[in-house]
C-alpha cells in the first residue's frame, strides 16, 4: 500500500532491460528482468535532499512484464531549482561496443531520462542520457545509443566499452 502523499505520482519501471544489436536475428544482453536474471547488478534509489521516494532504499514490486518490476514512487518538493529522484542499476563495466542501444518496458507518468554511466562521467554525474515519456500502460522503449547525449557538465567522449550501469531519473518542477 502506498501512502497518500505518494499516490499522486506513482511511477513504475519494469526492467526487462537489455542492450540490443542492430539486427533482430542476434541475441541481446539481458541486464535485469527483476527476476534474478541478467548481469545481477545492484539497484538503488536516489533523491534530492528535499523530495521523497518510497520505498527508500529501493525495492521490487509485484507486477509488470515479468513477476517483479523495479518501482519508484516519489514526490518532488520545493527547495532546489531542479528537484530530482531516480533509481539506478549498477553492474561491473561492460563492453557494449557491438550493441546498438537499450530496450526496456516501462509505465508511469512524466518525462524520464534513461542514463548510461561510464567512468569518464562518474565524477560529475553528467552521464549520457536520453529522455522518454512514460505512459499509463506498459510500453516497450527502444533507444539507440546515437540518441544519448550529455546535457550538462564537462563534455566527455562516448565510450561504450565500459558502461557501468543504467539509471532512470525524473526531474523538473516541484509538485
Q: Is the pTM of this model over 0.95?
A: no
Prior bond of 57 cis (ω within 30°):
yes
**pLDDT tops 60 at residue 104:** yes
Instruction: Say what the alpha-carbon torsion angle 84, 54, 88, 23 is, to the nearest 10 degrees.
Output: -100
Give 142-165 pLDDT, tens digit per residue: 999 999 999 989 999 999 999 999
Q: Are strands 139-144 and 101-107 parallel, antiparallel or unpaired?
A: antiparallel
Amino acid at each position: 500500500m502506498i501512502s497518500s502523499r505518494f499516490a499522486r505520482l506513482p511511477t513504475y519501471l519494469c526492467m526487462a532491460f537489455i542492450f540490443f544489436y542492430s539486427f533482430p536475428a542476434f541475441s541481446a544482453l539481458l541486464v535485469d528482468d527483476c527476476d534474478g536474471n541478467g548481469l545481477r547488478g545492484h539497484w538503488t534509489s536516489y533523491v534530492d535532499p528535499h523530495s521523497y521516494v518510497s520505498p527508500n532504499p529501493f525495492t521490487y514490486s509485484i507486477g509488470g512484464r515479468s513477476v517483479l518490476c523495479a518501482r519508484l514512487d516519489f514526490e518532488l518538493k520545493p527547495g532546489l531549482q531542479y528537484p530530482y529522484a531516480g533509481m539506478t542499476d549498477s553492474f561491473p563495466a561492460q563492453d557494449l561496443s557491438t550493441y546498438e542501444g537499450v530496450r526496456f518496458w516501462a509505465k508511469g507518468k512524466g518525462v524520464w531520462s534513461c542514463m548510461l554511466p561510464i567512468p569518464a562521467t562518474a565524477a560529475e554525474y553528467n552521464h549520457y542520457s536520453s529522455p522518454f515519456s512514460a505512459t499509463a500502460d506498459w510500453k516497450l522503449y527502444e533507444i539507440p545509443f546515437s540518441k544519448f547525449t550529455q546535457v550538462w557538465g564537462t563534455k566527455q567522449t562516448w565510450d561504450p566499452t565500459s558502461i557501468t550501469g543504467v539509471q532512470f531519473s525524473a526531474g523538473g518542477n516541484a509538485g
